[in-house]
Amino acid sequence: MKQTSLAARYARALAEVVREKTALESMAGQLDEISRVYQESKELRDFLGNPAYPLQAKKKGLASLTKRLQLEVHAARLVEILLDKGRVDLLPEVAQEFRKIEERMLERVAVELTTARALDPALEKSVVTSLEKFTGRKVRLTRLVDPAVLGGARTRIGSVVYDGTLATRLAKLKLLLIGER
Interhelix angle for 91-105 vs 3-18, to 10°? 50
Shared-domain flag, residues 46 and 134: no
CATH number at residue 23: 1.10.520.20
Q: What is the pLDDT along the chain (181 residues), one digit of tens a residue?
A: 457 788 889 999 998 888 776 788 889 989 999 999 999 999 999 998 888 899 999 999 888 998 999 988 999 999 999 999 989 999 999 999 998 888 888 888 889 999 999 999 999 999 999 999 998 889 989 999 999 999 999 999 988 999 989 999 998 988 888 876 6
Shared-domain flag, residues 8 and 95: yes
Last residue of a domain, one of 51, 71, 104: 104
Closest among 114, 124, 125 to 165, alpha carbons compared: 114
Shared-domain flag, residues 17 and 88: yes
Question: Phi and psi (nearest 5°) for 94?
Answer: -65, -40
Give the count of domains, the chain: 2
Shared-domain flag, residues 86 and 111: no
What pLDDT does residue 181 have?
64
What pLDDT does residue 1 have?
46
Asked whether 66 and 79 are in contact (CB, 8 A), the reply is yes
Shared-domain flag, residues 12 and 65: yes
Shared-domain flag, residues 16 and 55: yes
Which of helix, strand or coil describes residue 40? helix
Shared-domain flag, residues 13 and 29: yes
Q: Which domain holds residue 150?
A: 107-178
Shared-domain flag, residues 90 and 141: no
Shared-domain flag, residues 92 and 116: no
Shared-domain flag, residues 128 and 99: no
Last residue of a domain, one of 76, 104, 132: 104
Shared-domain flag, residues 70 and 126: no
Closest among 31, 62, 30, 60 to 44, alpha carbons compared: 62
- pTM strictly above 0.85: no
Three-point CA angle 107, 1, 98, nearest 5°: 25
Shared-domain flag, residues 112 and 138: yes
